[in-house]
Homo-oligomer: A and B are copies of this chain.
Amino acid sequence: MKKLLVQLDDRSYPIYIGSGLLNRPELLTQHIKSRQVLVVTNETIAPLYLDAILKNLQSYIVETVVLPDGEQYKTLDFVARIFDKLLAGKFSRNATLIALGGGVIGDMGGFAAACYQRGIPFLQIPTTLLAQVDSSVGGKTGVNHALGKNMIGAFYQPQCVIADADVLDTLDDRQLSAGLAEVIKYGLIRDAEFFVWLENNMDALLARDKQALAFVIERSCINKAEVVVEDETESGVRATLNLGHTFGHAIETGVGYGQYLHGEAVAIGTCQAADLSRRKGWLNDADVARIMALFKRAKLPVNPPKEIDSQRFLELMAVDKKNVDGQIRLILLKKIGEATLPTDINQELLEVTLKTYGR
């Protein structure tokens, strides 16, 4: 087992990475300071891993909330179900919430923990590759709104993250690929060496080679943690983690949450960002080809959905957390391994990308 520390003063916490971690009760219980525990999970994960978690919690007063599975349920209304359960169970402010699931469960569970009684402790047990390499680390929590992705939320750090590589055995291929989109992102924004490693090892990852996956989780978490420690609340460099996300969020919102997996939309969005970076003169044709090729090898889509035309893209992108006074700003690539900070965009150039890339 590897243990990484996310250094955030009094909000510091460990990420445990390894195999068989769900069967080690002490990893969990050393971070629980209460008798009351609420486990939040979804209908896909509950039959697979809920029993294992509950077995580790036999000396606690435990309640569970099982939500439906999918991005379309990441709403204020479904977070309210978590509040209902906490209150019906008379959960106190020292109670602990455990988010057992992928990014959607982590985001909702974390947001519920941030808001219940103005904040109770919570633990992340991510069960998808995407959640293990990205969303469970760094304290971004929240829900979607019909008009914009992740528009309602909080920065709220967990007590620990337990990333058990064994849970990836039950992950379907589409979810595995979606996780790889965020993995590739780290290579693109700040770790060129890792990008090359991914080019050389993509087949092993898709074949679910345990060692390759464990390396990817660790290397991604190191990248993520370094960025988060530098800029916890995204006043600067943290925004680079959002490469491709402004396009991606527009896709997710535009076609309806749950149609694309988040990682799939990010893959497309990152290719759009690469195309625009080329038009800015920063990437060359060969760079863009390499980027697209790697996403394709990860079995990810690279072309935007036909039903969102450029006008609709602009409209959807006008709601984004990087924007200032409604003006679109994007993360682009200076080269493979280096991203820009949020950059004001020449609207004409953006429109060229929206009208021509993948059309």
* Given A36-B326, A83-B145: A152 touches B92 (CB 8 Å cut-off): no
A215 at the binding interface (Cβ < 8 Å): no
* Given A35-B325, A80-B76, A325-B34: A151 touches B92 (CB 8 Å cut-off): no
Is B154's CB under 8 angstroms from A114's CB? Answer: yes
User: How many residues belonging to A are interface residues under a CB distance threshold of 8 Å?
Assistant: 43
* Given A325-B36, A326-B90: A115 touches B153 (CB 8 Å cut-off): yes
Q: Which residues of B contact A93 (CB under 8 A)?
A: 321-324
Copies in the complex: 2
A118 at the binding interface (Cβ < 8 Å): yes
Is B118's CB under 8 angstroms from A155's CB? Answer: yes
Chain B nearest Cβ from A113, distance in angstroms: 11
Is A118's CB under 8 angstroms from B90's CB? Answer: no
Contact digits for A88-123, partner B, Cβ 8 Å, 1 yes 0 no: 101111110000000000000000001111110000
Contact digits for A58-79, partner B, Cβ 8 Å, 1 yes 0 no: 0001000000000000001000
A140-B119 Cα distance, complex, nearest whole Å: 12
A349 at the binding interface (Cβ < 8 Å): no
Is A87's CB under 8 angstroms from B321's CB? Answer: no
Chain B nearest Cβ from A65, distance in angstroms: 15
Extra contacts, 11 of them, besides A92-B323, A92-B326, A94-B324 (Cβ < 8 A), are A34-B325, A61-B325, A87-B145, A87-B147, A87-B151, A92-B325, A93-B323, A115-B142, A115-B153, A116-B151, A117-B321
Is A142's CB under 8 angstroms from B118's CB? Answer: yes
Is B118's CB under 8 angstroms from A324's CB? Answer: no
A332 at the binding interface (Cβ < 8 Å): no
Is B88's CB under 8 angstroms from A324's CB? Answer: no
